Amino acid sequence: MKILVADPNLVPHRDRFEAMAPPGSDIRWLTTGVPEDELRDAEVYVGSRFTADMASTAEKLRLIHVAGAGTDKVDFAALTPEILVANTFHHERSIAEYVVGAAVMLRRGFLSQDRALRDGVWATAVYDRSLAQPPTLGEARIGFVGFGHIGMRSWNLLRAFGCTAAAVTGSGAVAPDAGLTWAGDTGQLNRLMRESDVVVVSAPLNDHTEGMIGAEQLDELGPDGVLINVGRGPLVQERALYEALAGRAIAGAAIDVWYRYPSGGGGGAPSDLPFGSLPNLLMTPHSSGITADTFAGRVDDVTGNIARLQRGEPLRNLVAR
């Protein structure tokens, strides 16, 4: 079976991939481009981008496997019904660590303390009596906007601190043993924001959720509240978020997902607004799930599906057309 691997994120795990692929696999690592002659007789393509031109060239293709969650760069309309498309996740543990780390940093004021001390200012209640003693994370009420794999894994870590939590989802349903104080549909979003100290946003982005958090919801979160967005940038209205942070309508935020991404080379601002000037914002470049653990798990999923394909067994994580 000829397998093309066109995802450079898997290169650090090349030995693992080749050891777990079915015996006799012909694996080609093509991370700088996919020549037509390589694609023409490939049976499996591993990568995030698959165009109509590639589909017309691939005469023997049976499986496109994205080594991640997003399949928006696959031209499904160009694929014949025989070509399967699968994806994989495995980022929830890494993202959960980010959520907890950001929550501690922002709730305890470590981010602003770091910036102040670089300027010689000891911004703590011990040296500045005008500053309040911050609460621990364990006292926090966590609000989850979306409660899928990321929300559940984050909650499993946060509950160990002693936090309480509630969630809103599209359907309003969560597992009965989730251990939440309450759960509801997105019609109760304002209540969730009002009752939470830390809000974790991990909902999917669609026509119903885009811009669901705006100025009204951020005002409900309040001046002591912290927002952590690990879902998609446009779930939170861009200008409303900037103004809430700049005007201290909320205490702070950690934003890992943005409104503008680089087209190549890894350069460029993540927004037209000057988020980088805000002292109460932790900015990260969509890196919360980028760990060796994430991609090792994805290699296991991809090679497992390739082995199932060779054996004629049902594949996991197939993406509906």
Express each pLDDT in 245-260 by its tens digit: 999 999 999 999 999 9
**Above 90 in pLDDT, residue 311?**
yes
Higher pLDDT, 176 or 242: 242
CA atoms lying within 13 Å on the CB side of residue 276: 6
Are 237 and 264 a contacting pair, CB within 8 Å? no
What's the CATH code, domain 2-90+292-311?
3.40.50.720
Give tens-digit pLDDT for 121-150: 999 999 999 999 999 999 999 999 999 999
| Longest CA span, the chain | 72
- Residues contacting 48, CB < 8 A, separation 6+: 7, 66, 67, 68, 70, 71, 73, 74
Output the pLDDT for position 70.
Answer: 86
Prediction pTM value: 0.91
92-283 homologous superfamily: NAD(P)-binding Rossmann-like Domain (3.40.50.720)
Residue 154 corresponds to which tokens in the numbers above? 């984050």
In angstroms, rounded to a whole number, what is the distance separating the alpha carbons of residues 47 and 28? 12
Residue 72 banded pLDDT, cuts 50, 70, 90 = confident
Burial of 109 per CB tally in 10 Å (0-12, 13-18, 19+): buried
Are 204 and 210 a contacting pair, CB within 8 Å? no
Output the pLDDT for position 321.
Answer: 79
DSSP 48: S
In angstroms, rounded to a whole number, what is the distance separating the alpha carbons of residues 209 and 307? 37
Domain locations along the chain: 2-90+292-311, 92-283
In angstroms, rounded to a whole number, what is the distance separating the alpha carbons of residues 213 and 187? 12
Output the pLDDT for position 31.
Answer: 87
Mean pLDDT over the full length of the chain:
96
**Above 80 in pLDDT, residue 265?**
no
**Above 80 in pLDDT, residue 64?**
yes
Four-CA torsion 206, 245, 140, 287, nearest 10 degrees: 60
pLDDT > 90 fraction of the chain, expressed in percent and rounded: 96
SS3 84: strand
**Count of positions (residues) in the chain:** 321
- Across the range 215-221, mean pLDDT stands at 98
Q: Could you count the other beta carbons within 10 Å of the beta carbon of residue 132?
A: 9
